[in-house]
Amino acid sequence: MTVFDQRGQHVTYQYNIAGAIDLEGVGSRAELIEQLEKLQAELARATREGALEEDVGIDAEAEVKKAVAQAQKPEPDKGKLLGYLNRAKETVTEVATTVTATTGLVVALQKAIELAQKLF
């Protein structure tokens, strides 16, 4: 029995966000920081693999890197943390409308923002 028949489909490029990022299971600041680091690595991978234009990927990755650094401070500035994550999301969202492969990154960034609002 064929569940998903792919005959006749022609996919020239497909990019999937890594399954290693699990923002659904985050319940602490430390877990969120760990997942943000994975998201940062995923943005770098998306850039390397061409799912994001180089300048877009570099900008988004830098914003997430700043968010990680802010989150790791003894007394993080929630406003700055959210600002970094929102800028990363906006940067990726600009291309997500034309590059459907990046929508998983946008969803992950949105979830990270929601968790940061809750945990910080």
CA dist 61 and 36 (Å) reads 10
CA dist 63 and 68 (Å) reads 9
CA dist 93 and 25 (Å) reads 24
Mean pLDDT of 108-114: 91
Please report the pLDDT score of residue 1 as a whole number.
Answer: 42
**Cα torsion angle, 72, 38, 48, 17, sign:** negative
Mean pLDDT of 95-109: 74
Domain layout of the chain by residue ranges: 29-119
Does residue 13 carry a pLDDT above 60? Answer: no
CA dist 98 and 104 (Å) reads 13
